[in-house]
């Protein structure tokens, strides 16, 4: 059974509340219908009720079991505004500014998540990634001990011998433009931890580069080699049982024959990687979209890592199935909230 079907099975036992910031988007409506039909929980769509109903009618989608929330007309809006004002960075805003900010879909949805009126948030279908991420960073914030949030994306290949039964876990393809070695090590650890949590398989983490065991005189190679050492140390500190290696080129990471040719004997990762860490956002974002466009593989994400609550920032090119899969991943993070997010901040 593939990864997403396994996760949907878990949600059918522990259904969750999913808030979507782009309620009237056709793909979001289709994913929401699936969540109800497959008994994964309750979808909550943010947006104008009339437009959402019109779109649903146009698509012949039954909205039974789908909740619609218009921020400005919501019975929770006063409490949401108080919560917003209670966040230090918004404390000095005027009443009018608070009123306007609180009804922005990304902000209102983040406030619902923060106050436990939703368990997982899905944004980005029609909004720029930066806007969706800013609201999450400013309202939900990062877990204790985590300075920088990042993201992971799962590519689910037809070729089941690649990665973990066809699933490759890739980070950070959506948030940090130019991570330093410390941030790359954090990305490697958070990505590997979730890969293990979702699959119960041993993470084999490759820190990617244009070189394989290259010359550290080049600053980018030196960064990857430093990040590899830091990631191994952090894995020991958090008792994460994983193999970590780098700098590795993508072919040496995924192809056994090439790995041999490139003298990576003894590497527990080369030729067998299932977690891929990209040196920067350009390479990560380009690679994931290229794989998707050329192979048609499903892609689930961006799963935002390091936040206090489960959230997804999907790309504007996502299909309804990609959105359902990403929601299932965030929903399963919510099931294991204490384990994945610690005890803190569950009280909103
Ligand atoms: C995420 C992003 C918008 C943050 O940019 P930025 O210029 O740092 O944004 P701001 O300075 O407005 O930061 C807003 C807040 O988020 C915080 N923040 C920014 N990046 C963060 C991160 N990675 N982790 C945690 N918090 C972060 C800032 O500290 C700031 O907090 P404050 O307002 O409480 O002081 C920017 O990194 C970005 O655009 N990333 C790429 C997104 C993208 O296009 N991805 C492609 C998707 S397909």
**What would the pLDDT profile of 216-226 be if each residue is shown by its tens digit?**
789 999 999 99
Q: How far away, in angstroms, is 290 Cα from ligand 1 center?
A: 24
Q: Where are the domains of the chain?
A: 1-141+309-348, 145-306
Q: How far away, in angstroms, is 134 Cα from ligand 1 center?
A: 5
Residues 6+ positions from 304 with CB-CB distance below 8 Å: 133, 136, 149, 150, 151, 174, 175, 311, 312, 313
What pLDDT sits at residue 1? 59
What pLDDT sits at residue 345? 45
What pLDDT sits at residue 2? 83
Does 29 have pLDDT greater than 80? Answer: yes
Q: How far away, in angstroms, is 249 Cα from ligand 1 center?
A: 29
Is 129 near ligand 1, meaning CB less than 6 Å away?
yes
**What would the pLDDT profile of 317-326 be if each residue is shown by its tens digit?**
999 999 999 9
**What would the pLDDT profile of 87-102 be if each residue is shown by its tens digit?**
999 999 999 999 999 9
Is 149 near ligand 1, meaning CB less than 6 Å away?
yes
- Nearest ligand 1 atom to alpha carbon 289: 48
Q: Tell me which of 130, 152, 184, 286 to substitute to probe ligand 1's pocket, judged by most ligand atoms within 8 Å of the beta carbon.
A: 130
Does 270 have pLDDT greater than 60? Answer: yes
Q: What are the C-alpha distances in Å from 334 to residues 12, 310, 327?
A: 13, 6, 10
Does 347 have pLDDT greater than 50? Answer: no
Residues 6+ positions from 143 with CB-CB distance below 8 Å: 306, 307, 308, 341, 342, 344, 345
What pLDDT sits at residue 150? 96
- Nearest ligand 1 atom to alpha carbon 149: 24
Average pLDDT over residues 127-141: 93
What pLDDT sits at residue 18? 98
Q: Whose CA is nearest to atom 45 of ligand 1?
A: 174
145-306: CATH architecture: 3-Layer(aba) Sandwich (3.40)
Is 147 near ligand 1, meaning CB less than 6 Å away?
no
Question: Could you give the CA distance from residue 63 to residue 53 in angstroms, rounded to a whole number?
Answer: 8
Structure tokens, 103: 């009804």
What pLDDT sits at residue 342? 62
Calculate helix-pair angle for 77-86, 95-102, nearest 10 degrees: 120
Is 319 near ligand 1, meaning CB less than 6 Å away?
no
**What would the pLDDT profile of 35-93 be if each residue is shown by its tens digit?**
999 999 999 999 999 999 999 999 999 999 999 999 999 999 999 999 999 999 999 99
Single pTM value for the model? 0.94
How many Cβ atoms are within 10 Å of 219's Cβ, its own excluded? 8
Question: Could you give the CA distance from residue 247 to residue 334 in angstroms, rounded to a whole number?
Answer: 34
Least reliable range by pLDDT among 140-149, 202-211, 261-270: 140-149
Q: Do domains 1-141+309-348 and 145-306 have the same CATH topology?
A: yes
What pLDDT sits at residue 348? 42
Q: How far away, in angstroms, is 77 Cα from ligand 1 center?
A: 26
Average pLDDT over residues 114-139: 94
Share of the chain above pLDDT 90, in %: 88
278 confidence band (pLDDT: 50, 70, 90): very high
Q: Whose CA is nearest to atom 33 of ligand 1?
A: 138
Relative to beta strand 167-171, strand 204-208 is: unpaired
160 confidence band (pLDDT: 50, 70, 90): confident
Average pLDDT over residues 183-205: 95
Question: Could you give the CA distance from residue 185 to residue 201 in angstroms, rounded to a whole number?
Answer: 20
Share of the chain above pLDDT 70, in %: 97
Fold annotation for 1-141+309-348:
Rossmann fold (3.40.50)
């Amino acid at each position: 059974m593939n990864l997403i079907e396994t996760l949907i099975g878990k949600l059918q036992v522990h259904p969750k509340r999913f808030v979507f910031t782009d309620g009237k988007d056709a793909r979001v409506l289709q994913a929401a219908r699936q969540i109800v039909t497959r008994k994964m929980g309750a979808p909550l769509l943010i947006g104008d009720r009339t437009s959402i109903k019109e779109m649903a009618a146009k698509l012949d989608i039954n909205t039974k079991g789908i909740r619609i929330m218009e921020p400005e007309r919501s019975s929770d809006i006063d409490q949401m505004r108080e919560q917003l004002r209670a966040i230090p960075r918004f404390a000095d805003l005027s009443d009018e500014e608070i009123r306007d900010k609180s009804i922005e879909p990304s902000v209102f949805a983040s406030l619902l998540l923060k106050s436990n009126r939703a368990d997982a948030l899905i944004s980005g279908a029609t909004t720029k990634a930066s806007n969706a991420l800013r609201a999450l960073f400013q309202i939900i914030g990062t877990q204790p001990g985590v300075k920088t949030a990042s993201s992971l994306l799962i590519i689910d290949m037809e070729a089941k011998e690649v990665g973990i039964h066809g699933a490759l876990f890739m980070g950070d393809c959506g948030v940090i433009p130019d991570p330093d070695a410390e941030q790359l090590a954090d990305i490697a650890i958070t990505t590997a931890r979730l890969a293990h949590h979702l699959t119960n398989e041993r993470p084999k983490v490759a820190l990617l580069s244009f070189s394989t065991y290259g010359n550290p005189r080049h600053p980018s190679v030196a960064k990857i080699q430093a990040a590899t050492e830091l990631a191994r140390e952090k894995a020991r500190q958090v008792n994460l049982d994983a193999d970590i290696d780098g700098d590795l080129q993508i072919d040496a990471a995924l192809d056994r024959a090439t790995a041999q040719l490139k003298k990576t004997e003894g590497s527990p990762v080369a030729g067998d990687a299932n977690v891929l860490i990209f040196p920067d956002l350009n390479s990560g974002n380009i690679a994931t979209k290229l794989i998707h466009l050329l192979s048609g593989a499903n892609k689930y994400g961006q799963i935002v890592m390091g936040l206090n609550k489960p959230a997804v920032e999907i790309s504007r090119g996502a299909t309804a199935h990609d959105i359902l899969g990403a929601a299932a991943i965030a929903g399963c993070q919510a099931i294991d909230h204490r384990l994945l997010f610690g005890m803190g901040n569950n009280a909103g």
